[in-house]
Structure 1
Amino acid sequence: MLALVAAVAALPVADAAYTATTSTPVNTFTAGTVALSAAAPAGKVFSVANAIPGSYGASCVITTYTGTAPATVRLYFTGVSGTLGNYLVARVQSGTGTQTDCSDFTSPTTLYNASAPAAGGPTLAAYLAAHTGWATGDGAWPVTGPATRAWKFEYLLIGDDNAQNSTLSFTAVWEAQT
């Protein structure tokens, strides 16, 4: 028996064990994107010179969201200067369409409609002043993938001698945030 114990003690120790493994395929993460572009006539909402009382204009800006992340798009205005906005009746709408001349604008939602500026009523100046950044932006448009929206701007210059030689300039900004 001593010989058997000695023979077993002389055997090399093997690293024998039962094992099993499992794994998942390669794991990946990709960040979403937020991408927004705008098309406007001559790159601007308006470019009007020598307007007289009764001057009217309409223009559509077509915004296209091509991001992959869900976002909300809002419209606001920066760089507002001049006093002519106090004499402009305005309407701003969002809807569908692809033409910057508004020829196919449909399904309007009115964001602002100043139709009676007499006696200090609402004008374009009031609308511009109320929407100066993302927090006060207008027309919240939720997007979850590629989408297009038309934004129609209309103006009418009222008859008021104080409007003579006045100017107005502003930048319309559409911002998408997740």
Structure 2
Amino acid sequence: MALAAAMLSARGSYAGFEVLTATEPNTWTAGTVDLSVAPASLQLSIEGAIPGSFGSTCTRVTSTGSLPAQVRLYLKGADLGGDGLASHVTLRIDEGTGGSADCGDFVRTGTVYNTAGMSDTAKTVAGFSAVAHDYATGAGSWNAAPNDQRSYRFSWQLQDDNAAAGRTLTARFTWEAQSLSL
């Protein structure tokens, strides 16, 4: 009996309580940066143009993401095609409000490229691509909150230069948005 009592005392007694609690599930969602362009295709269609031919078209860019972003416009070299007409088409890009494709409601608030206008024949489609060819060199930078809009008017004129005869041009302009630091 003494042995049994000694064993019980050597073991001691132990009583413990434990409780756990946890938070509700945590959720993280990354914000988005996105743009839409209307009309979806920028129509600068020039067929059978003669020296001095000119025109313009407008488009509206909307920030459709959930984060504020800086938006810039550029023309990558890879998106500039044809066989040399880009050096003979003077280009002016204005920004503003409105934005119907025919520019009927466009109100200019600034100029993104070629402030002198059609008289500055050094400001060509090829020239724009040379100075604004990626986000870092992009033109017309604006800080867009979600749902902000900006309209652009692209005006062009074919220069009076025999070297332009029979040449072609294709160009795909890009707007890129990158989120602003919060």
Same fold at TM > 0.5: yes
Alignment correspondent of 2:80: 80
How far apart are residue 125 of structure 1 and its match? 1.8
The match for 2:62 is 64
Q: Give the Å deviation of 1:56.
A: 0.9
The alignment partner of 2:175 has SS state of: strand
3-state SS in 2 of match to 1:135: helix
1:48 aligns with 2:43: no
CA positional deviation for 1:27: 4.5
Q: How many residues align?
A: 163
Structure 1 outlier segments of 4+, above 4 Å: 12-16, 21-27
In angstroms, what is the RMSD of aligned CA positions?
Answer: 2.6
In 1, the alpha carbon distance for the partners of 2:162 and 2:14 equals 107
Structure 1 letter corresponding to 2:165: Q
Separation of aligned partners in 2, 1:85 and 1:117: 15
Amino acid at match of 2:136: A
Equivalent residues in 2 for 1:21-36, closer than 5 Å:
27-36=26-35
Report the TM-score, using the length of structure 1 for normalisation. 0.78
Q: Is the 8 A contact 1:95 1:107 kept in 2?
A: yes
Residue type of the alignment partner of 1:57: G
Paired position in structure 1 for 2:3: none
Q: Once the 2 structures are TM-superposed, how far is the Cα of residue 161 of structure 1 from its aligned partner? A: 1.1
Distance 1:13 1:155, change over 3 A: closer
Identity of aligned residues (%): 38
Residue equivalent to 1:148: 149
Structure 1: tracts of 5 or more residues without a match: 1-11
Q: How does 1:59-138 map to 2 (within 5 A)?
A: 59-78=57-76, 79-81=79-81, 82-113=83-114, 114-117=117-120, 121-138=122-139
Report the Cα distance in structure 2 between the residues aligned to 1:154 and 1:58, rounded to whole angstroms.
Answer: 4
